[in-house]
């Protein structure tokens, strides 16, 4: 068996392991508010065949459109797994994209990067999260990978693929501009380093024969973005709103909501402990990524790798440029995201993925740099212990502490109490109609009742977002505390940490409901 076939089999084996870590028991965690919002947004596309971009909420259209082909049942019959399988696919897809840059990273480095992608607790947890972030990371890496392939092959199709990937980044989430800027920093920084080394740049000579190809790639990227934002040209306001939305997001980034200090992301990844809970750390990835950053600037070639250009100075120079690009790109992503006051934990996935690529480089470089076999064996054993630790944390994060605030990846998570609330409301409707001939009218009077619209997607609520409470209503759901409603039974449910919803049931309905359950 050749080394190339063995490499491909190992990477596919890692891909299978990543699926095995992500797919089981997808409904085990209640839908986060953000997940529920996206699912309800998708409902409009599924049931009415239309999507309208909102410049203030929901992010871009890609998540909705990639979900559509995989939902073959009425919306009321969908569950959490229906939607989370989509992000699982993109999460494991990152491992397959490694094939695009394996000749630049090196085969052993690629295997390590694939393994860390498969095992990272954050990457696994948010692959099981129906939000845009994993798609953004996927299309970002697709742009980098296809851009690298174009540089290596000069084939037009890779340039077009890169352009489309850049367009899909924009149509996925507004924060794509941060990744674009980081890519730009990586390219400029790499060119400056080449100049400092005295290497010829010849940028104009390289660009001149490729100008039409690059323009076509850019055009395809713009077309992909406009096509989706305009809902396939049925809403031409959408592409305009996709630009105007940045006024909203600039204000949001500097606002007080989700405001955290600059070191917050590194704290989550490096050493997190909440109360009496366990210690969490992806320190192995952080430490190895530091070694990888050093290696990116000192390693000249991959002498042990079988590439088509082994021993070629040109290939060695190209490899060095890829590694320095990844180091500068990842650092730029980390700096920008850390500097923005608005922070949510899933936003760190972009630079975490860059760290994982660098960690693959760092692991192999460190082992090769050690002077003798015993030291190399010790390093390998320590890394294996670190991967075992990551695996244990991954299982704990996604299957034991999946809704627990002691988990660093759990953020404003929906309380399991909301499942009980939805169950009680449905029971009131069903038993009420069957047992005492009254189908209680349910009114929602709340500014924020998420994820209740998802939990009650079978239309158990008759009136959503009422402007005022109608007295003598059978059942009232509200987020207002201490409402004066005489003759009602009050039940209180946790919505998320520190936030509650209140269920008022008219006393005669409540008494009949209790009687029907005896």
> For 442-447, what is the mean pLDDT?
83
> For 472-490, what is the mean pLDDT?
78
> For 362-385, what is the mean pLDDT?
94
Whether 438 has a pLDDT exceeding 70, the answer reads no
Whether 363 has a pLDDT exceeding 80, the answer reads yes
pLDDT band at 336 (very low <50, low <70, confident <90, very high): very high
Whether 125 has a pLDDT exceeding 90, the answer reads yes
Residue 394 maps to a domain: yes
Are 68 and 116 in a shared domain?
Answer: yes
> For 346-350, what is the mean pLDDT?
97
Residue 53 maps to a domain: yes
* Dihedral over alpha carbons 450, 171, 47, 31 (to 10 degrees): -30
User: pTM for the whole thing?
Assistant: 0.92
Whether 310 has a pLDDT exceeding 50, the answer reads no
Q: Which domain holds residue 496?
A: 417-516
Residue 408 maps to a domain: no
Q: Is 57 in a helix, a strand, or coil?
A: coil
Are 382 and 501 in a shared domain?
Answer: no
Are 51 and 124 in a shared domain?
Answer: yes
pLDDT for residue 154:
93
Are 445 and 350 in a shared domain?
Answer: no
Strand partners, 489: 505
Residue 411 maps to a domain: no
475-478: strand order across its sheet: 442-445, 475-478, 499-506, 488-496
pLDDT for residue 465:
73
Are 132 and 227 in a shared domain?
Answer: yes
pLDDT for residue 488:
86
Residue 355 maps to a domain: yes
**Sign of the dihedral defined by the CA atoms of residues 12, 35, 145, 193, in that order:** negative
Are 380 and 511 in a shared domain?
Answer: no
Cβ contact 251:391 at 8 Å: no
In the chain, the percentage of residues whose pLDDT exceeds 70 is 92
pLDDT band at 307 (very low <50, low <70, confident <90, very high): very low
Counting the structural domains of the chain, the total is 2
Whether 194 has a pLDDT exceeding 90, the answer reads no
Cα–Cα distance for residue pair 32/39, rounded to 1 Å: 11
- Residue at a domain's end among 372, 399, 426: 399
Whether 34 has a pLDDT exceeding 80, the answer reads yes
Cβ contact 225:180 at 8 Å: no
In the chain, the percentage of residues whose pLDDT exceeds 90 is 68
pLDDT for residue 157:
97
pLDDT band at 308 (very low <50, low <70, confident <90, very high): very low
Cα–Cα distance for residue pair 120/345, rounded to 1 Å: 14
> For 267-285, what is the mean pLDDT?
93
Across 439-478, the runs of DSSP E, i.e. the strands, are 442-445, 475-478
Sequence-separated (6 or more) residues with CB below 8 Å from residue 109: 302, 360, 361, 363, 364
Are 376 and 267 in a shared domain?
Answer: yes
Residue 476 to residues 73, 344, 466, 506, Cα–Cα distance (Å): 30, 32, 10, 9
Residue 70 maps to a domain: yes
Cα–Cα distance for residue pair 296/91, rounded to 1 Å: 25
pLDDT for residue 426:
84
Are 442 and 360 in a shared domain?
Answer: no
Strand partners, 375: none
**352 or 505, greater pLDDT:** 352
pLDDT for residue 471:
63
- What is the tens place of the pLDDT at every residue in 407-424? 999 999 999 999 999 988
Average pLDDT, the chain: 89
């Amino acid at each position: 068996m050749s080394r190339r076939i063995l490499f491909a089999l190992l990477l596919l084996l890692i891909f299978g392991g990543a699926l095995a870590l992500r797919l089981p028991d997808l409904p085990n965690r209640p839908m986060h508010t953000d997940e529920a919002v996206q699912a309800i947004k998708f409902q409009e596309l599924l049931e009415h065949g239309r999507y309208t971009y909102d410049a203030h909420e929901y992010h871009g259209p890609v998540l909705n459109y990639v979900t559509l082909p995989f939902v073959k049942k009425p919306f009321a019959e969908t569950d959490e797994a229906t939607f989370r399988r989509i992000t699982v696919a993109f999460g494991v897809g990152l491992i397959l994209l490694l094939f695009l840059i394996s000749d630049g990273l090196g085969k052993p480095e690629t295997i390590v990067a694939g393994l860390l992608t498969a095992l990272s607790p954050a990457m696994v947890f948010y692959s099981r999260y129906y939000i845009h972030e994993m798609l953004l990371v996927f299309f970002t890496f697709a742009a980098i990978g296809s851009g690298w392939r174009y540089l290596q092959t000069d084939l037009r199709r890779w340039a077009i693929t890169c352009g489309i990937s850049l367009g899909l980044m924009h149509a996925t989430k507004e924060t794509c501009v941060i990744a674009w800027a980081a890519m730009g920093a990586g390219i400029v920084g790499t060119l400056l380093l080449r100049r400092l080394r005295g290497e010829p740049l010849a940028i104009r000579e390289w660009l001149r024969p490729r100008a039409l190809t690059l323009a076509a790639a850019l055009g395809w990227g713009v077309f992909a973005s406009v096509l989706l934002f305009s809902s396939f040209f049925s809403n031409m306001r959408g592409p305009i709103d996709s630009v105007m939305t940045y006024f909203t997001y600039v204000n949001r980034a500097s606002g007080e909501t989700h405001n955290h200090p600059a070191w917050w992301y590194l704290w989550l990844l490096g050493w997190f402990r909440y109360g009496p809970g366990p210690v969490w750390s992806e320190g192995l990835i952080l430490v190895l990524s530091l070694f990888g950053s050093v290696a990116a600037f000192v390693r000249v070639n991959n002498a042990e790798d079988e590439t088509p250009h082994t021993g070629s100075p040109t290939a060695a120079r190209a490899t060095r440029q890829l590694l320095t690009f990844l180091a500068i790109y990842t650092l730029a992503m980390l700096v920008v995201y850390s500097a923005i006051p608005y922070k949510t934990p899933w936003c760190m996935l972009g630079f975490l993925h860059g760290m994982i690529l660098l960690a693959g480089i760092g692991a192999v470089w460190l082992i090769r740099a050690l002077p003798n076999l015993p030291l190399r064996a010790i390093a390998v054993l320590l890394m294996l212990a670190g991967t075992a630790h990551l695996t244990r944390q991954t299982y704990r994060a996604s299957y034991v502490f999946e809704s627990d605030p002691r988990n660093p990846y759990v953020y404003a998570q929906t309380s399991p109490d909301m499942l009980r609330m939805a169950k009680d409301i449905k029971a009131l409707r069903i038993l009420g109609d069957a047992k005492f001939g009254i189908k209680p009218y349910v009114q929602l009077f709340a500014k924020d009742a998420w994820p209740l619209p998802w939990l009650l997607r079978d239309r158990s609520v008759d009136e959503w977002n009422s402007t005022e409470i109608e007295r003598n209503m059978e059942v009232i759901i509200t987020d207002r505390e201490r409402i004066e409603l005489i003759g009602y039974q009050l039940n209180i449910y946790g919505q998320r940490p520190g936030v509650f919803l209140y269920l008022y049931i008219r006393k005669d309905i409540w008494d009949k409901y209790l009687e029907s359950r005896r």
